[in-house]
Structure 1
Amino acid sequence: MKLIRTFGKSAAEATSMIEQIAARGATSTATVAPAVKKIVADVKRKGDKALRAYAEQFDGLTPGQDILVDPAEMEAAWNALPKALKAAMKEAAANIHAFAEAQMPEDWIIEPASGVRTGQIIRPLDAVGCYVPGGRYPLPSTVLMTTLPAQVAGVERIVVCSPNPAQETLAAAHLCGVTEFYRVGGAQAIAMLAYGTESTPPVTRIVGPGNLYVTAAKQLVSQDCGIDMPAGPTEIVVTSDLGDPLGIATDLVAQAEHDPETLAIFITTNEPLGKEVLKQVKLLAKKNKLAKQSLEARGAIFVCEHPREAQALTNMLAPEHLTVDHPDDLQWVRNAGSVFIGPHSPQSMGDYVSGPNHVLPTGRTGRLRGGLSVMDFLKLITVQQYTAKGLAKLGPHAIALAEAEGLVGHAESVRARLNP
């Protein structure tokens, strides 16, 4: 991890580093695209046969083992958990569920003119696929984060896919009431969800993080099936002039241990604080090989000359996770996946139990959208109704606009009702 001033003699070097970071995408899938295209095409064409072949090759599925997990296996996994972990999962599930309920939009109707009623109705998607990674670490928390908002939204069919699922992952699925869980991952799981097989109907949208193959497959099938967002390496930015050096350092190291490609940035105008954070990060990373690798590759501390510069840099980076000093800082935050405020709000709390979703935008996608939410599982359908009086009031305006566009049929469809 390197400390660099954005002003003075090091300004040009800092600008170059910042431009490289800002130019990042969510992830580059070019290296795996050919393999992913073949896998997706095979599963789409050959169905269950190809799905099983790839699951046995890549996902640890044994010959004769069912791809669909028996609910009894999920229940047994739950029963085998230690009491403390059960309690933690229950608390996390309750908070995630409550947060999703608070996010739910409502049906409404307004009357913009006499005899004219317009509004919206909310409807859930029919079926969703929730992808849960099963690689470096088991991620039972991702089961909670993806399935519970879908349940709150009212989705009838919720499908979970995870390769070689850990006991904790199966237990989390039981807690969430999941009944359709497939022990398959990678591009083959995405293809199954998007296109279906002889034994598995397709879903309407696929959500959840994954590796490069999963991301490439989601992008490939997005022409035919909805997806949430491309998932890239974890990102953390801490923008602070007042924070505790040890607390900041632990957050940087914690997120850096996710992936060797993690982006870990500290932005400050307080150079002594920056130097102390750098010292603490080096000490902590000695005990964490993966975090050390990540921090050495993509870790930086930027010392800015003015707070406005620090704020502008933060928004330019549009980080997945952002920590700031005070609630007043929310006034300048424009681009971020999830914001953590103050010294007592470690980012790891958001990964597990706070309630807001931990499936968040990376690669500057935070400029375009926030994290996964109940809205990803809903449709907002607009409605409108006219009485004769309302049509008489607004109809002539519609006719004028239609005729200006040369769409005479549109004008006539209104005129015919004005003069029956």
Structure 2
Amino acid sequence: MLLRQLLAGSPEANALLDRTTRMAGEIDAQVAQILADVRTRRDAAVADYTRRFDKREPTGGSYELSGERWDALAGQVDARVRDALELAARRIRAFHELQRDPDVDVTLDGVRLELRVTPLARVGLYVPGGTARYPSSVLMTAIPAKVAGVPEIIMVTPGASPEALLAAKLAGVDRVFELGGAQAIGALAYGTETVPRVDKIVGPGNAWVASAKRQVYGEVDIDSIAGPSEVLIIADVTANPAWIAADLIAQAEHDTEARAVLVTTSGVLPAQVDTELVRQLADLPRRAIAEQALRTHGAAVLVVSVDDAIEYANRFAPEHLELQLVGAREVAARCTTSGAIFVGAFASEAAGDYLAGANHVLPTGGAARYASPLGVHDFRKRTSIVEYDAATAEAHADAIAALAACEGLDGHGRSALMRGRRG
């Protein structure tokens, strides 16, 4: 059996709930050195680390991708992929256009209160190189920023594929630098002679990038520290074993740490799914990765009732939750701690990853208990605006002074009483 069969409530099933990840201390220390060097020596440090780790030299003294080369590389994309990226971009943009928060402007008893929403000035987008070529992630991160009104998006990548560069054009990315690793994160966070400082950094990366993002947080904002990707599928006896197996594999092929869990009320479904897993893995190009993930982190958890399945899912707080059972819409209403919920057998996680329009940048590792999908709101900030007239300032002075005195801050009270003409 590829999938371990576990009983809900067993120590093994409960162990699946703990996906705590800890950064390696050695990586943290080395990343801290790189960031400190980039902060001090700026472009010179970035160039040194890029030569060392990526074997890449600057072109004409800069790592910025020229417009001509950008156009040429993006033009290499196969027409079928281009059409798919354009369709995905339209759908993602349409859904995110609906997410803009309106300003608030109200007068309450003489006090005008506003909540003004404004876009961040500049955002940095990290795109991995190597085998992790994800143009869909470019769309999912850059489009919400543009919809939010961000004037400038800077993309860094150690070697973007033509598909990622086309996605960057479709999404509205303004500049691309051929940089990667912790040094690229440092350049975005601190700014260099050629790389402008940004207000926020988004996008996935390896352990070095994750450590760098965590360490620069506070200097700039970040989206999240993403852990291994995960899916939990609640299914009953009516579900299609082949479809469930395909969706588990789709998750497991990301990397060997990916989590793929089936929760079911059916005693026969796990064996049926396992048979399908073996069959479908046979010709999968990333078979070794998917198979290791399924053996190490996959499981079929048997529950007595749908209520038990919902309880387990809410404790797990998965990045992706699929509902392949009777009454899926009603079950979805009771699932409150998932990054994204896919309702019904026809809603595959793959559709959400690429084309549906909802964002695929989701909280992992149980963070869906309190965190949300990436959206337009992540690229806008809110400012409170307070305006008093003279009469209301006088009317509120005594109450303000009383609260200030309660906290031992007499200067606050005096400030209010002066405006109340009693200071």
TM-score range, shorter chain: over 0.9
Matches within 5 A, 1:242-281: 242-281=238-277
Q: Secondary structure at the match of 1:32?
A: helix
Pairwise CA RMSD: 1.9
Quote how far apart the aligned CAs of 1:229 are. 0.7
- Is 2:163 the counterpart of 1:168? yes
Correspondence for 2:121 among 123, 126, 130 = 126
Contact 2:249–2:277, Cα closer than 8 Å, also in 1: yes
Say if 1:60 and 1:164, in contact at 8 Å, map to a contact too. Answer: no
Q: TM-score, normalised by structure 1?
A: 0.93
C-alpha contact 2:75 2:162 (8 A) present in aligned 1: no
**Kindly tell me: are residues 60 and 336 of structure 1, through their superposed partners in 2, closer, same or farther at Cα, counting changes over 3 Å?**
farther
What letter is aligned with 2:275?
Answer: K
| Cα offset, 1:31, TM superposition | 4.4
Match among 74, 80, 83 for residue 78 of structure 1: 74
Query: By how many angstroms is 1:63 displaced?
Result: 6.2
1:62 deviation in Å?
4.2
Query: When the two structures are superposed, what TM-score results if normalisation uses the length of structure 2?
Result: 0.92
CA distance in 2, matches of 1:208, 1:26: 18
- Map of 2:288 onto structure 1: 289
The correspondence of residues 290-329 of structure 1 with structure 2, limited to 5 A, is 290-325=289-324, 326-329=328-331
Match of 1:351 among 341, 350, 353: 353
* Offset of residue 26 of structure 1: 4.8
Alignment coverage as a number of residue pairs: 413
- Could you say which residue in structure 2 is the equivalent of 1:217? 212
Distance in 1, Cα, partners of 2:330 & 2:282: 35
Q: 1:24 aligns with which of 13, 19, 29?
A: 19
Distance 1:92 1:55, change over 3 A: same
Q: Tell me the secondary structure at the aligned position of residue 257 of structure 2.
A: coil
- Alpha-carbon contact 1:147-1:158 (below 8 Å) kept: yes
Task: Return the alpha-carbon distance in structure 2 between the equivalents of residues 346 and 340 of structure 1.
Answer: 7
Q: Which residue, out of 95, 107, 112, partners 1:117?
A: 112
CA displacement at 1:393 relative to structure 2: 4.4
Amino acid at match of 2:375: S
Asked if the contact 1:25–1:363 (Cα under 8 Å) also holds between the matched residues in 2, the reply is yes
Runs of 4+ in 1 over 6 A off after TM superposition: none
1:11-410 superposed matches below 5 A: 14-19=10-15, 21-26=16-21, 28-62=23-57, 64=59, 66-111=62-107, 113-241=108-236, 242-287=238-283, 288-325=287-324, 326-410=328-412
What are structure 1's unaligned runs of at least 5 residues?
Answer: none
Q: Is the 8 A contact 1:190 1:218 kept in 2?
A: yes
**Secondary structure in 1 matching 2:260:** strand
Q: Does structure 1 retain, via aligned residues, the 8 Å contact 2:35–2:212?
A: yes
Given the superposition, is the C-alpha separation of residues 164 and 305 from structure 1 closer, same or farther in structure 2, using an over 3 Å criterion? same
Question: % of aligned pairs identical?
Answer: 36
**Secondary structure, in 3 states, of the residue corresponding to 1:380?**
strand
8 A Cα contact 2:92 2:357, kept in partner:
yes
| Alpha-carbon contact 1:149-1:374 (below 8 Å) kept | yes
Q: Residue deviations 1:207-266, cap 9 Å, x none?
A: 111111110110111131211110111111112224322111111101111111101111
User: For the Cα contact (< 8 Å) 1:93–1:144, is it kept in 2?
Assistant: yes
- Residue 190 of structure 1, CA deviation: 0.6
* Paired residue type of 2:351: M
Could you say what secondary structure the match of 2:25 adopts?
coil
Code of the aligned partner of 2:294: L
Give the conservation status (yes or no) of the 8 Å contact 2:394–2:417: no
Distance 1:350 1:29, change over 3 A: farther
- Go from structure 1 to structure 2 and tell me whether the alpha carbon gap of 1:64 and 1:126 turns closer, same or farther (over 3 Å shift): closer
Task: Write the deviation string for residues 290-345 of structure 1: whole angstroms up to 9, x where unpaired.
Answer: 11111111111100123222112111111111112422122211211111111111
The answer on whether the counterparts of 1:132 and 1:210 sit within 8 Å (CA) in structure 2 is yes
Gaps of at least 5 residues in structure 2 are none
Letter of the 1:193 partner, please give it.
Answer: L
Which range moves more in the overlay, 324-333 or 142-151?
324-333
Q: Is the 8 A contact 1:5 1:303 kept in 2?
A: yes
